[in-house]
């Protein structure tokens, strides 16, 4: 069944005329506006559209054209929502109050790589796929491994970390200078070491629109060492991983699955009694789907089983021997925390045994090492009867880590079909609140957007006043991405 | 109500100081908040001083906020690698406490070591130091900042947060202009053995070029010393961090040999000795460090792919002024001694002058 798209608004037509007159390509066709107004939805789900969809979409190609879009918006008194690859999970790039969606994907210049200095200057609209290709041609990498369609501008706007941040640092660590346009139409070009770059990163389109960045890049690795380590408990695994990074080792991958995560993986540990192992081994997607009707029971089973925590470690660099030495040092440190070498990593870790029909939601938070275990415990407790929860430590730094939760179960809010009694949104909200109560930060790399903003005052406290002051400073007309970050 | 009356109501000790100014010593962070609110409400000039920091006198008709009483170290935990400390505490006292717990702050510039934690974080280095992987990172995980109205802002202590703009950046390196740093969570390194080696190079520029290559390969040492002389240059490097230190030294050694540097053996304590002559401290790019001089002495900290913090000194007879002049001519920014300190880059230089003015207005601060 297809639905008719709403007609072009009068405001959309007027904005398009102004934008085209300013030299910026723009469209107010219902299809373009619909695509630019989609809410983040998991794959396989029916796409939803913002209730206050955009009026027009603009495709500027330079910083000057972005400034021209800002000028049009100021004159018309309409908001601008900057959007890139539309891969965000928190709704940060979805228009909340209509107006102009500024599609950044034509901001593809400059493209300059200085392999000797290990610096790349890239347009904010370049996608991860293109950046990987461009840098790869010079034997370089950013170490991000982001979603292929995501853009550099989106990474800057959310201050994303990158999949291999334990080795290569976060994007903030790699950012040298930025070019951006603020809400008054000024083009800001930060200088290295000024501190302004670091202040603007992560502002989610509410203070400036990024147009390009100079980034430090790393040599593409040609050697790799990977291993799994089994720990008897989550606490032991946390201690082992923390020691590895505190000692100065920089694993490219360091992912610690909690026992529930292990439970959700296909491989069934040998310590489980044989009859139960056969039941678990035979439990396919349908069994999981049925068990998710009572997620509390599934959580209790996972809690009761004597399951270990599993750490995947990988080191990469330019020589096999060096990687192997780093790996050997890491294994020694893990042994001190009761870790046992569990052999090489399979070519690809088994996918979770989630049934295709199972509703899945995800959440990332950040915290210090001393709080990590209690954050996981409190989140699991909060969603105990709502969804099956598993956690993994996905980014490790000497002072703390990111925890990624995956929740299986929940009811599709549209069809009212599915497992459990709560929608994925309700599950995430309960989990986020519990994580915040346990002292975790609301997001490690996904941003706040629209979905997590109600908890922002708990995160920032009196810092909300500083945030509002920054909004007044960089966006005096309050046109940049309103409805996000409580701004 | 007069400025003095309001300052007294903050609970801080108040004495007259300088040219019709006041020296204010708050005993607690709450008192500091009240004092800052009183100062900002009256719009009088403000200077902040911690343990061992300059300046020592109040500005004319203004207030010197003396944070020496805010010197408590609330926690030092080597297991989590974090310390909670008030801004007036001296860096050396924090380092001593960290050492007792088996941790360290790592190698720091001499001016940083002799000052307070607050001055370190609010000063020109922004609390930054070198970390593994040839990166520079601020030591502050989060700061507790006093706003103009006396309220205290502090975010959650967590690494690499994605929760909007990094508000700590309003305090770090700000010199107390936008906020006054009251306390901070400081990142610590495990105190482990170091691995040092020395090399000989054709001249200081060659030594610096080789060191730049080492840093570009993400093998930056924790500290470096280069001494230029008639017969070439001596380069000594130290890596810290347990078993990783030796691994990185060996990798760097292979690189340096390939770049034409000869082995110089074990440098001993020389790599850690205080600089000779009349040194100045700079924040510089590699090119500036190479072009500074051919006969001086370089001690480098916080090395990264783009440059380093450095103490630069010329032979004894030549003064710090000459040293600083040469450094500026090479494009370096002088950050110590304080009397020679160069101004940092302003927002106006970057096209954000309008935003700066509006920010001061929104924060209730004078131009």
Tell me A113's DSSP state. Answer: E
From the CA of B230, how many Å to the nearest CA of chain A? 30
- Reading the block at residue A464, the tokens are 């909300």
Task: Summarize the confidence of residues B1-27 as an average pLDDT.
Answer: 89
Q: Is B367 exposed, middle or buried (0-12, 13-18, 19+ CB in 10 A)?
A: exposed
Residues in chain A closer than 8 A to B350 (CB atoms): 188-191, 194, 196
Q: Is A366 exposed, middle or buried (0-12, 13-18, 19+ CB in 10 A)?
A: buried
Predicted local distance difference test score (pLDDT) of residue A280: 57
Predicted local distance difference test score (pLDDT) of residue A262: 66
Predicted confidence band of residue A268 (pLDDT cuts 50, 70, 90): very low
List C-alpha distances in Å: A292 to A301, A355, A413. 12, 10, 16
| Cα–Cα dist B118/B183, whole Å | 8
Mean pLDDT, chain B, rounded, equals 93
Predicted local distance difference test score (pLDDT) of residue A357: 42
Note whether A204 contacts B164, CB cutoff 8 Å.
yes
Residues in chain B closer than 8 A to A117 (CB atoms): 216, 305
pLDDT at B129 > cutoff 80: yes
- Reading the block at residue A388, the tokens are 């099956």
The alpha carbon of A220 is separated from its chain's Cα centroid by a whole number of angstroms, namely 23
Binding-face residues of A in 460-479 toward B, CB within 8 A? 460-463, 465-470, 472-474, 476
Residues in chain A closer than 8 A to B351 (CB atoms): 186-189
Instruction: From B298, B308, B129, B343, select the one nearest B334 (Cα to Cα).
Output: B343
| Cα–Cα dist A341/A358, whole Å | 33
Predicted confidence band of residue A271 (pLDDT cuts 50, 70, 90): low
Residues in chain A closer than 8 A to B135 (CB atoms): 169, 173
| Cα–Cα dist A58/A80, whole Å | 10
Instruction: From A129, A83, A131, select the one nearest A111 (Cα to Cα).
Output: A131
**What number of C-beta contacts closer than 8 Å exist between A and B?**
228
pLDDT in tens, A173-211: 999 999 999 999 999 999 998 889 999 999 999 999 999
Predicted confidence band of residue A350 (pLDDT cuts 50, 70, 90): very low
Predicted local distance difference test score (pLDDT) of residue A355: 42
The beta-strand segments (E) located in A119-221 are 119-123, 140-141, 175-182, 187-189, 208-216, 218-219
Note whether A367 contacts B158, CB cutoff 8 Å.
yes
From the CA of B157, how many Å to the nearest CA of chain A? 7
pLDDT in tens, B317-348: 788 999 999 999 999 999 999 999 998 889 99
Run of H or E including B102: none
From the CA of A231, how many Å to the nearest CA of chain B? 19
- Reading the block at residue A466, the tokens are 């500083």
pLDDT in tens, B83-126: 999 999 999 999 999 999 999 999 999 999 999 999 999 999 99
Predicted local distance difference test score (pLDDT) of residue A259: 82
pLDDT at B236 > cutoff 50: yes
pLDDT at B309 > cutoff 60: yes
Predicted confidence band of residue A347 (pLDDT cuts 50, 70, 90): low
Instruction: From A142, A132, A144, A205, select the one nearest A176 (Cα to Cα).
Output: A142
Answer whether A227 touches B (CB < 8 Å). no
User: The dihedral of CA A224, A139, A213, A130: what is its sign?
Assistant: negative
String of DSSP letters for A375-408: HHHHHHHHTTTT-EEEEEEEEEETTEEEEEEEEE
Tell me A6's DSSP state. Answer: P
* Beta-strand pair A175-182/A187-189: antiparallel
Predicted local distance difference test score (pLDDT) of residue A382: 94
CB under 8 Å to B334, separation ≥6 — which residues?
B280, B281, B282, B324, B327, B328, B340, B341, B342
Percent of chain B with pLDDT over 90: 81
From the CA of A158, how many Å to the nearest CA of chain B? 6
* Beta-strand pair B135-138/B140-146: unpaired
CB under 8 Å to A78, separation ≥6 — which residues?
A11, A15, A55, A98, A99, A100, A479
| Cα–Cα dist A279/A275, whole Å | 6
- Reading the block at residue B82, the tokens are 């974090």
| Cα–Cα dist A209/B165, whole Å | 13
Percent of chain B with pLDDT over 70: 100
In this structure, of A42-46, A310-314, A323-327, B143-147, the range with the lowest mean pLDDT score is: A42-46
* Beta-strand pair A100-103/A80-83: parallel
Tokens 């950044």, located at residue: A104
- Residue A295 near residue A381 (C-beta atoms within 8 A): no
Predicted local distance difference test score (pLDDT) of residue A309: 92
* Beta-strand pair B46-49/B63-66: parallel
Predicted local distance difference test score (pLDDT) of residue A353: 44
Task: Summarize the confidence of residues A112-135 as an average pLDDT.
Answer: 96
* Beta-strand pair A111-114/A80-83: unpaired
What phi and psi, each to the nearest 5 degrees, are found at residue A360?
-125, 135
Predicted confidence band of residue A351 (pLDDT cuts 50, 70, 90): very low
pLDDT in tens, A371-394: 999 999 999 999 988 888 889 998
Of residues A141 and A351, more confidently modeled? A141
pLDDT at B171 > cutoff 70: yes
Tokens 């909300």, located at residue: A464
Predicted local distance difference test score (pLDDT) of residue B316: 75
pLDDT at A2 > cutoff 80: no
Answer whether A335 touches B (CB < 8 Å). no
Predicted local distance difference test score (pLDDT) of residue B3: 85
Run of H or E including B235: strand B232-240
Q: Is A7 exposed, middle or buried (0-12, 13-18, 19+ CB in 10 A)?
A: exposed
- Residue A95 near residue A52 (C-beta atoms within 8 A): yes
**Cα-only R_g, chain B:** 22
Predicted local distance difference test score (pLDDT) of residue A356: 42
- Reading the block at residue B85, the tokens are 């400390």
pLDDT at B302 > cutoff 90: yes
| Cα–Cα dist A447/A460, whole Å | 14
Residues in chain A closer than 8 A to B172 (CB atoms): 195
Tell me A19's DSSP state. Answer: H
Predicted local distance difference test score (pLDDT) of residue A483: 94
Predicted local distance difference test score (pLDDT) of residue B221: 97
Tell me B308's DSSP state. Answer: E
pLDDT at A412 > cutoff 80: no
pLDDT in tens, A59-79: 999 999 999 999 999 999 999
List C-alpha distances in Å: A334 to A246, A323, A338, A480. 12, 16, 7, 47
List C-alpha distances in Å: A454 to A151, A301, A383, A431, A450. 26, 33, 19, 14, 8
In this structure, of A28-42, A262-276, B68-82, B123-137, the range with the lowest mean pLDDT score is: A262-276
String of DSSP letters for B12-26: -EEEEETTTEEEEE-
The alpha carbon of A352 is separated from its chain's Cα centroid by a whole number of angstroms, namely 19
- Reading the block at residue B6, the tokens are 């309001």
> Which residue of chain A has the CA closest to B242?
A247
Helix (H), strand (E), coil (C) string for A410-477: EECCCCCCEECCCCHHHHHHHHHHHHHHCCCECCCCCCCCCCCHHHHHHHHCCHHHHHHHHHHHHCCC
Tokens 């989630």, located at residue: A354
Binding-face residues of A in 266-305 toward B, CB within 8 A? none
Q: Is the peptide bond before B337 cis (omega within 30 degrees of 0)?
A: yes
| Cα–Cα dist A408/A420, whole Å | 9
pLDDT at B64 > cutoff 70: yes
Instruction: From A351, A347, A369, A371, select the one nearest A360 (Cα to Cα).
Output: A351
| Cα–Cα dist A283/A150, whole Å | 36
From the CA of A192, how many Å to the nearest CA of chain B? 9
- Residue B127 near residue B154 (C-beta atoms within 8 A): no
Answer whether A141 touches B (CB < 8 Å). no
User: The dihedral of CA A169, A170, A172, A176: what is its sign?
Assistant: positive
Q: Which of B132, B164, B350 sits opposite A250 (nearest CB)?
A: B132
Predicted local distance difference test score (pLDDT) of residue B50: 86
In this structure, of A72-76, A229-233, A286-290, B93-97, the range with the lowest mean pLDDT score is: A286-290
From the CA of B317, how many Å to the nearest CA of chain A? 33
* Beta-strand pair A100-103/B21-25: unpaired
| Cα–Cα dist A415/A357, whole Å | 13
Q: Any bridge partners for residue A404, and if so which?
A: A364, A392
């Amino acid at each position: 069944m297809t639905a008719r798209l709403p007609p072009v608004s009068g405001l959309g037509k007027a904005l398009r005329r102004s934008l085209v007159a300013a030299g910026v390509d723009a469209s107010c066709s219902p299809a373009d506006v619909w695509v630019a107004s989609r809410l983040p939805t998991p794959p396989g789900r029916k796409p939803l559209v913002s209730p206050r969809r955009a009026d027009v979409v603009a495709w500027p190609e330079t910083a000057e054209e972005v400034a021209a879009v800002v000028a049009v918006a100021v004159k018309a008194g309409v908001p601008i929502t900057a959007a890139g690859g539309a891969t965000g999970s928190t709704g940060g790039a979805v228009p909340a109050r209509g107006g102009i969606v500024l599609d950044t994907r034509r901001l593809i210049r400059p493209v300059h790589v200085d392999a000797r200095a290990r610096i790349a200057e890239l347009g904010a609209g370049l996608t991860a796929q293109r950046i990987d290709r461009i840098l790869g041609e010079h034997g370089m990498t950013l170490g991000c491994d982001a979603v292929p369609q995501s853009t550099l501008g989106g990474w800057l706007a959310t201050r994303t970390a990158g999949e291999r941040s334990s080795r290569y640092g976060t994007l903030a660590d790699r950012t040298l200078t930025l070019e951006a346009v603020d809400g008054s139409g000024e083009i800001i070009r930060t200088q290295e070491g000024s501190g302004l770059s670091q202040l603007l990163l992560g502002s989610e389109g509410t203070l400036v629109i990024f147009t390009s960045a100079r980034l430090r890049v790393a040599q593409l690795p040609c050697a790799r060492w990977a291993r799994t380590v089994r720990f008897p408990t989550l606490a032991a695994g946390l201690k082992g991983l923390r020691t590895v990074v505190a000692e100065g080792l920089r694993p490219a991958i360091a992912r610690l699955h909690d026992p529930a995560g292990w439970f959700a993986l296909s491989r069934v540990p040998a310590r489980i009694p044989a009859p139960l192992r056969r039941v678990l081994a035979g439990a396919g997607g349908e069994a999981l789907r049925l068990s998710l009707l009572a997620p509390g029971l599934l959580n209790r089973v996972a809690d009761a089983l004597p399951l270990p925590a599993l750490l995947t470690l990988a080191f990469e660099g330019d020589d096999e021997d060096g990687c192997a030495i780093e790996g050997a040092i890491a294994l020694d440190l893990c042994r001190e925390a009761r870790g046992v070498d569990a052999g090489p990593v399979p070519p690809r870790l088994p996918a979770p045994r989630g049934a295709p029909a199972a509703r899945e939601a995800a959440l990332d938070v950040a915290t210090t090492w001393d709080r990590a275990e209690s954050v996981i415990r409190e989140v699991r407790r909060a969603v105990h009867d709502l969804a099956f929860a598993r956690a993994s430590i996905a980014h490790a730094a000497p002072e703390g880590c990111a925890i990624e939760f995956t929740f299986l179960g929940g009811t599709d809010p549209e069809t009212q079909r599915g497992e459990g009694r709560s929608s994925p949104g309700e599950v995430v909200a309960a989990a986020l609140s519990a994580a915040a109560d346990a002292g975790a930060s609301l997001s490690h790399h996904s941003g706040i957007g629209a979905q997590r903003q109600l908890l922002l005052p708990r995160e920032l406290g009196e810092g909300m006043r500083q945030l509002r002051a920054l909004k007044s400073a960089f966006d005096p007309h309050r046109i940049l991405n309103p409805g996000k970050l409580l701004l | 109500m007069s400025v003095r009356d309001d300052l007294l109501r903050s609970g801080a000790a108040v004495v007259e100081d300088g040219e019709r100014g006041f020296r204010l010593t708050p005993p607690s962070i709450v008192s500091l908040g009240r004092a800052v609110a009183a100062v900002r409400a009256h719009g009088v000039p403000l200077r902040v001083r911690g343990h061992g920091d300059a300046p020592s006198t109040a500005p004319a008709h203004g207030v010197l906020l003396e944070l020496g009483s805010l010197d408590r170290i609330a926690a030092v935990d080597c297991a989590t690698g974090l310390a909670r400390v008030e801004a007036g505490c001296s860096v050396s006292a924090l380092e001593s406490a960290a050492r007792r717990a088996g941790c360290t702050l790592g190698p720091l510039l001499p001016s940083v070591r002799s000052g307070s934690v607050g001055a370190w974080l609010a000063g020109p280095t922004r609390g930054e130091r070198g970390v593994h992987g040839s990166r520079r990172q601020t030591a502050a995980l989060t700061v507790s900042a006093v706003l103009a109205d006396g309220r205290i802002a502090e975010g959650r202590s967590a690494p690499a947060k994605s929760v909007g703009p990094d508000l700590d950046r309003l305090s770090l390196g700000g010199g107390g202009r936008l906020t006054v740093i009251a306390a901070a969570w400081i990142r610590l390194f495990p105190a482990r053995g170091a691995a040092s080696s020395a090399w000989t190079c054709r001249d200081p520029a060659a030594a610096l070029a080789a060191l730049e290559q080492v840093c570009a390969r993400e093998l930056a040492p924790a500290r470096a010393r280069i001494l230029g002389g008639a017969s070439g240059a001596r380069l000594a490097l130290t890596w810290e961090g347990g078993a990783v230190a030796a691994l990185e030294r060996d990798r760097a050694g292979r690189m340096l040999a390939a770049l034409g540097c000869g082995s110089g053996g074990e440098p001993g304590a020389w790599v850690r000795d205080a600089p000779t002559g009349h040194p100045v401290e700079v924040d510089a790019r590699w090119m500036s460090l190479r072009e500074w001089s051919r006969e001086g002495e370089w001690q480098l900290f916080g090395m990264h792919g783009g440059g380093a913090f450095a103490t630069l000194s010329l032979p004894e007879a030549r003064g710090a002024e000459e040293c600083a002049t040469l450094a500026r001519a090479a494009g370096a920014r002088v950050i110590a001694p304080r009397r020679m300190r160069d101004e940092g880059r302003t927002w106006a230089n970057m096209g954000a002058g309008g935003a700066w003015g509006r920010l001061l207005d929104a924060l209730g601060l004078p131009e």
